[in-house]
Structure 1
C-alpha cells in the first residue's frame, strides 16, 4: 500500500503521477486487445482501485475502465467514499460513465484526451455540470493528452477479430502527429465555477490550471 502513496504537494506532479498509472492500465488493456483506456481512483493521495476497459473479454458493453474501478472501490468502501475520491482516466468518460460518476458523487475527474464521439464531460455533453439533483464535479483534461491519443491510435491499427466485418489494417501507418487543442476546448477555472453556480451545484474550490491543459 505504501507504494501507492505520493507525498508531494505540487498539484501538477500529483496529476502526472497518477495519470501515468492510468496510462499503464491503458497499456495493459492494449496488450490483451482491449480498447486502451485505463484509470485509477485516488483517495488521500493513495490509489484505492485501478480499472481498464474489459468489453471484449467480458462481452459486456458496460465494462468500461471506470465501471471496473468503481466495482473494486465498492468492494472495499461504502459508496459515500466517492465524495473524497478523484478519478484519473486516460480518455474523457463517456456519457454513461460520466452519469454514473455523478450519481456516486465523485469529487473530481482528470482525463488525458477528450472523447469527441461519446464524451460526457464536455466532449459531447456536460453530464458532470448539467442541472440535476446530483452534485456536480469538475473535469480537468489534457494531462498526458498525446500519450492517451497515441494509445488509441496504436489500438486502431490492430486487427479486431471480434468485429462483425474486420477491416484489414496491415498497410496502415501509425500517425504520430497530434494536433494542438482548439481554443474552444480550453475553459478557465473561473468559467467552470460560473457554470457550477448557474446549475445550482455545490461550489467547488478548484486548483489553479485551465480545465483543458496540455502536459
Structure 2
C-alpha cells in the first residue's frame, strides 16, 4: 500500500517548525508520535539547506550543520535525521548518493527559515523574561513580609491624626498630629506640644512613641503602625529607628526637613538597622491645607515676626 508523499513546503510549514522549536530536547520520533505531519515539517526544514543531489558525505555534513544550528533544539543524531527524511519520502537514495525531493514554494528558503527561528527565539526569550520577572516580583512580595495596604483603615487612622493636629493648632502649636496603632486600635495619640511643654523634642511622633512604649511596656514597638500628618523630621526618624514600629504612614511631604525621602532618607543610611515599611501621601492635601492655613494666620497676626516661617516645628 502506497502513501502519498507531500513534497510541497510552505511558509506555514516554516512557522510550524518554529513553533515546534520550543519543545527543546525532543526527538523526531516523539514529534512524529504527536503528529504524523511533524515528520515532514522537521525533515523538510533540513532539506531546505540540502542541494537537490548530494553524496553521502555531503548529506551527513549538512545534517550535522542543521542539528548544530536551526535544529539544535532537537535531541537527534545526524543518522536519525537522515533516516527520518528517507522515511518521509522527501529524501531518496540514488546510485550516486541522495536526491532531495522537497518542493518548496517561492520565497520558502533556508534563509527565510533562519529568520523565522530568530524571531521566534526573540519572542520566546521576551516571554520567558516576563514570566521570570513576574515570578521574581511575586517571590519578592511573598518573602519581603510587606504588610498589605488597607486604604480604608489608613484613612481612618490618619483622620484621627489630623484631629490631633487641629487641636494642636488651636493651642498655638504647629499643626502636626500622630497616632500609634497596634492590633487595629489606637494605643497613643498626640499633637505637637513643643510650646506647651517647653520641650523642643515634644513632636507628635515622639510623644506617641513614648506613650506607646509605656502602654506596651516595651521600648520596641514592633507590629505597630505610626500615622503622622507630616513627614517625620530627622529627630523623629531617628526615634523611629530605635522604637522599630513595623510601618509608617504619613500625609504631607516635608521637602525642607523631611527625613523619609523629602529632604533626606535616614532609613537608607548605612548602618541603620531598621527600615519600616513606609506609605506616603495619605490625606496629604488635608495635612498641607492645615499647615498652610496655620502659617498664613500666624503671619497675618504677626506681620513683623518671621519666626516659624515655613514648615518648621
**TM-score, scaled to structure 2:** 0.47
Partner of 2:163: 24
Gaps of 5+ in 2: 1-147, 307-313
1:102 paired to 2:241: yes
- Choose between structure 1 and 2 for higher RCO, CA contacts under 8 A separated by at least 6 residues: 1
Is the partner of 2:172 in helix, strand or coil? coil
Offset, 1:133: 4.6
Distance change in 2, residues 1:34/1:16 (3 Å): same
Listed one character per residue, the Cα deviations across residues 68-121 of structure 1 (whole Å, up to 9, x for unaligned) are 111211222233551111100000000110011011111110000101111110
Instruction: Work out whether residues 241 and 272 of structure 2, in 8 Å CA contact, stay in contact via their aligned partners in 1.
Output: no
The 2-side partners of 1:28 and 1:36 are apart by 8
The correspondence for 2:207, drawn from 68, 74, 85, is 68
Deviation at 1:157, TM superposition (A): 1.6
Aligned twin of 2:172: 33
Aligned length, in residue pairs:
158
Q: Counterparts of 1:159 and 1:135 in 2: how far apart (Å)?
A: 38
Give the TM-score of the pair, scaled to structure 1. 0.68
More helix by share: 2
Q: State the distance in 2 between where 1:159 and 1:21 align.
A: 24
Superposition map of 1:62-211 within 5 A: 62-79=201-218, 81-159=220-298, 166=305
Distance in 1 separating the partners of 2:149 and 2:270: 32
Structure 1's 79 and 130: CA in aligned 2 closer, same or farther, altered over 3 A?
farther
Which is higher, the Rg of structure 1 or of structure 2?
2
Is this contact kept in 1: 2:213–2:221, CA < 8 A?
no
- Point out 4+ residue stretches in structure 1 off by more than 3 angstroms: none
Decide whether aligned partners of structure 1 residues 47 and 134 sit closer, same or farther in structure 2, where only a CA change above 3 A counts: same
| Stretches of structure 1 lacking an aligned partner (at least 5 in a row) | 1-8, 168-215
Contact 1:105 1:134 in 2 (8 A): no
